[in-house]
Chains A and B, each alone.
Chain A
Amino acid sequence: MKIAITVWGNRISPVFDAAQTLLVAEIRKAEIVSRNIKMFQAGVYSRFIKLLEELEVEVLICGALWDEPATLLEASGVEVIPFITGDTEAVLSFWAKGMDLMEYRMPGCPHCCCRRRS
């Protein structure tokens, strides 16, 4: 499974729209087997969705995401886990182990945002 995270330095990018860097990691049997960095243009949602398709990304973890791009991303079939904050590596390894990202949710955000699909 491939997972993408919008990153800002070693942290998750605070706002999806302003993000420019994407970390794409491949997870097999709860292990991170590869990592790739891709640059992308924030705000051009169609190109971003196409990039996710090309990279065969199934899950996107990002920071604050407003409803319009959230709907577009969901409609493309990608599982979106928004409003996540913190150290990228910590979040990635948490996710690889199959754990919820509750403790990495942004303050004030609803709990349901950061749960993975069953």
Chain B
Amino acid sequence: MRESDKIAKAANEIILESISDGVFTVDHNWRIMSFNRAAEEITGTRREEAIGRYCWEVFRSNMCEGDCALKRSMKEGKSFVNSSTYIVNNRQKRISISVSTSPLKNEKGEALGGVETFRDHSLVEELRRELKGRFQIGDMVSYSKAMQKIFNILHQVAESDSSVLIEGETGTGKELMSRAIHSLSLRKEEPFIAINCGALPDTLLESELFGYKAGAFTNAEKDKPGLFSAAGMGTILLDEIGDTSSAFQVRLLRVLEEKEYQPLGSVEKIKTNVRIIAATNHDLEEMVLKGEFRRDLFYRINIIRLHLPPLRERMEDIPLLVESFIKKMNRMKGRSVSSVGREAMTVLLAHDYPGNIRELENIIEHGFVLCSEAEIRLSHLPAYLIRTEPSKLPEHHSSMGESVQVTEEMKILEALKRNHYNRTAAAKELGIHKSTLFRKLKKYHISLPEMDGRSSRF
């Protein structure tokens, strides 16, 4: 070998050892011939153990058994670049990688085998997860500005120990929010108990919350501690507080002010240090004005008020929520559904969700029941979505961004029609500024009739 060739060979070896991409070569029998330092690090297998072994025993990719890129390269004599896949390393971790393969030839052009280079994407995945963490608290995820405002103060709210009032339509995640507050608070090791106040009559609700003594009423044969006792130093969520009677509200107010309660049939008061979170799907302030909710209790629980927006006001969260439900259901049901298909997502983005996030979750669960593939498709969605949305369904949109735009355009048109093409009223209904509406009208080339809704002028 000439001196210059020796130098070139040594240089190649140094380069191979110093790069961060894994590289290995195989012969015609799929036996590994060389294995660089990065390949050792990514797979967790030392070079001495790897060399001479079959590549699938060392590389352990989900492509090995079926669509092996290296096999294609060697068969077709072509290079393939950046196929995404994953491997399982020696610590039983799934590592996302991208793979490029080429046939390996000598100076005379004779085939020697193949070469595979692979790049570890774990760090990218980790950063992506971290970034996503900014949009997630507990089991709640959101990109929406309204939710971000809540997320930003939630740690302080949780640590404050004050009573919290959570308002929001049914299915907006009031209980999840309460759980998140509890788990971020200093009481996180103590119990979290949720009770739906609207579902129980007064006496039963009181006995559930405060407990009773033996003989307090017929069939009360022995003492029964209530939820305040069970919660100890933890948190109680009083859900549907707006549906409770005035008499119960008085009793609750006393407990909150005196920090003690009296079990039914008892003459003794018991001290309590439970944190109260109240939730409702009513507008309590309006109920107070109408005399339907006690003003004193309202001011007692309204120390920190959080309003959860309905899903139709945070449509940008749908892809993120869908992803989160898929992950959760994969975990619970032992499945490996990867995503929702493009057409199905377009339908999801066009629906207005009267049942809010709970409805979306149920739709995804429905998809899981019918879907036996990796992707939830249009045919896996509940029939009512397909039946009611066909006119809204765009023909074909190649990206998520396009689907969101189509939905936005439809919402604007609907709001304009409802408000007789009054731009100010439509902008108000859409929750955007009039100038934003004008910008969007221009963007979507929406032409308006001469009638402008402010007058009867035509």
Contacts and interface: CB of A to CB of B under 8 A. Distances in A.
A54 interface: no
B90 A18 contact: no
Interface string B326-359: 0000010111100000000000000000000000
Contact of B90 (A14, A17, A68, A110): A110
Interface stretch (A23-31, A42-50, A92-100): A42-50
B12 interface: no
A64 interface: yes
B249 interface: no
A45 B337 CA distance: 11
A106 B58 contact: yes
Given A15-B88, A18-B66, A63 B60 contact: yes
Contacts of B58: 106-108
Interface residues of A, number: 33
Interface string B44-61: 111001100110111011
A49 B93 CA distance: 21
Contacts of B56: 14
A64 B94 CA distance: 10
A67 to B, nearest CB: 5
A82 B50 CA distance: 18
Contacts of A48: 334
B92 interface: yes
Chain B, interface residues (CB within 8 Å), range: 20 to 34
Nearest to B56: A14
Given A66-B93, A67-B92, A18 B374 contact: no
Contacts of A65: 88, 92
A47 B372 CA distance: 10
Contacts of B46: 108
B49 A72 contact: no
Given A66-B92, A66-B94, A14 B50 contact: no
A19 B334 contact: no
A106 B87 CA distance: 13
A46 B335 CA distance: 6
A80 to B, nearest CB: 11
Q: Which residue among A19, A83, A108, A109 has the maximum number of chain B CB atoms within 10 Å of its CB?
A: A108
A63 B61 CA distance: 11
Interface in A38-79: 41, 43-49, 63-70, 72
Contacts of A69: 334
A27 B289 CA distance: 77
Contacts of B335: 43-46
Contacts of B334: 44-49, 69, 72
B84 interface: no
A13 interface: yes
Given A18-B62, A44-B336, A107 B92 contact: no
B403 interface: no
A106 B372 contact: no
Contacts of B61: 14-15
B65 A15 contact: yes
B44 A18 contact: no
A5 B56 CA distance: 17
A20 to B, nearest CB: 8
A19 B65 contact: yes
12 contacts: A17-B336, A18-B66, A44-B336, A47-B334, A48-B334, A49-B334, A66-B93, A106-B58, A106-B60, A107-B45, A108-B58, A109-B90
Interface of B: 43-46, 49-50, 53-54, 56-58, 60-66, 87-88, 90, 92-94, 331, 333-336, 372, 374
Interface of A: 8, 13-15, 17-20, 41, 43-49, 63-70, 72, 82-83, 85, 106-110
Give the 7 A-B residue pairs with the shortest CB-CB distance, closest first: A108-B45, A46-B334, A45-B334, A43-B336, A64-B88, A64-B60, A107-B49
